[in-house]
A and B are shown apart, each in its own frame.
Chain A
Amino acid sequence: MNPLELTLGIMTAVGGFVDISELVFAAKAGSMFGYALIWVFFVATVGIMVFGEMSGRVAAVARQPVFNLMRHRLGLKLGLVTLFASLVSTLITCAAEIGGMGLILNYLTGLPYLVLAALSGLVLMASMWILPFKWIERTYGLLGLLMIVFAVSLVAIHPPWDRLAGGFVPQVPHGLSTKELLAFAYFTVAILSAVMFPYESYFYSSGGIEEQWGPKDLLTNRVTTTIGFGLGSLLAVSILASSAQLFGPANVGPEIPGSAALEAAIPFGPTGLLLALLGMLFAVAGAAVETCMANAYAIAQFFGWEWGRHKKPWEAPRFTIAWIALFLLALLIVMTGIEVMSLVEYAVLFSIVVLPLTYLPLMLLAGDKGFMREYANKWLAKGLGWLFFAVVTAAAIAAIPLYLLTSGGQG
């Protein structure tokens, strides 16, 4: 294991963890419920660690990415339904990320939002055309490390550390009305969805194949998913905790994604604001690329096309057409003028419904000794995997009723 490669891999995972959905829901959760939803971020992060490690292990040992083997496990009919559902949810997520980029660039420059969103889309497409896979992943992931300003800002505002630490203990706050309880439940489901988005497993496992992982890379996989995702999740928790300290007492929701940057502006002024906005921009840009590529991977792998950005665009022509078309579709959604916050809500809602269909085949594959040999799930992966599968299934069932009952978390 190359220490430099491993470090870069972890840093990429950290910088690439937070996307527009986590940003929005972390800020709202902190404002509405103080530190009480930190444990949900913690639990969801363990969930994505478990399934991320499994998908990386499947890629390294079976040398097949998740969607190839998903069709084999689910069959054609259910596989097509899963493919369609995950394409829709990931496309909406991609649109939310591109819209998020347009918003952030508007906060930075004051130029028109839709023009900036369109330019963002074009720049992302150009970067995906020009750069090979490793550079795409590393560029956006490492630049996303600017998000560390949120963690530093949290320290600077001297939060009540004992209460913050208490937030890691599973809890439901006392004295909530029925409406508030339902809103709390909705945020629990939404945070689970935002952290465990299906595209993350597709992208991560396909990335393992792109980087030609083998059994020798299993330790890299384990370290990247645990330390990388763990540290990344602390950035999301920082946003929540700062919101609890700064926004909750000020009656701020927040309703505008740009308000999150105030968490760095309040302690550090314009420098903090700029670092926060740039960190948000690159984190969201990275997520836009990941979601688009995840969808293109899913289509190409499901139908057995050549795929991968370790190849030149003309060496995997249908895959190339797929990601270009998907990016343009996502851009079209943004150009309709639909609010980014609405896209975020729909992305989270659609994704949680797809999650059980995504993770069930992965669980079955990772436990199959025929494919995985001595690297099949042992007791810990099996136990945690089935536990989280039960959790995401319950969340998937509850998601739409909770959304309707709480008017999208408004209570």
Chain B
Amino acid sequence: MLRLRILLPLLLLAGCSKGPGADLQYIKQARSLGAEWALVNQQANKGQVTKTYAASMHQWLRDNLQTTQSSLTQPDSRYGSEIHALLAQPDDAAPDELRSHVEVLKHIEDGLESA
């Protein structure tokens, strides 16, 4: 019984270090990165930014998304799939397409925060 009393909090702690709760910060990062990508492309389509800036931002956004994806404790989750789908987009993807994935991530993020 004593062993269970010691083990249970440790198990709970271990549980908290995995799963959606632990991944919340990465979901937020991915949501923001996707939104930044969409904003850059929206401005690029209007001719408001230089090609060099857009290309450079695409590279950094993609690098950061990859880092976020590799930090997930549950990469096969719904949010993991959305991040994977974002990374599969071409650099000059349509802003609306990118934002559709951002909306899903935002919805998951809001759900986890209110839980």
Q: Which residues of A contact B (CB under 8 A)?
A: 103, 106-110, 177, 179-180, 247, 250-256, 258-259, 261-262, 265-266, 269-270, 273-274, 277, 407-408, 410-411
Contacts and interface: CB of A to CB of B under 8 A. Distances in A.
Interface string B39-77: 110010001111011011100110010000000000000
Nearest to B57: A258
A261 B48 CA distance: 11
Contact of A410 (B29, B35, B50, B114): B29
B53 A177 contact: no
Contacts of A247: 39
B36 A410 contact: no
B61 A269 contact: no
Contacts of B47: 269-270
Nearest to A251: B35
B50 A256 contact: no
A259 B60 CA distance: 11
B18 to A, nearest CB: 15
Contacts of B38: 250
12 contacts: A109-B52, A110-B56, A177-B113, A177-B114, A247-B39, A252-B32, A252-B39, A256-B64, A410-B24, A411-B24, A411-B25, A411-B113
Given A251-B32, A255-B32, A255-B64, A273 B49 contact: yes
B56 A411 contact: no
| Highest count of chain B CB atoms <10 Å: which of A179, A180, A251, A265 | A251
Contact of B32 (A110, A180, A254): A254
Interface in B84-107: 102, 106
A256 B49 contact: no
Given A177-B113, A251-B31, A256 B60 contact: yes
| Highest count of chain A CB atoms <10 Å: which of B40, B55, B102 | B40
A256 B57 contact: yes
Given A255-B32, A270-B47, A410-B28, A262 B39 contact: yes
Contacts of A269: 47-49
A273 B48 contact: yes
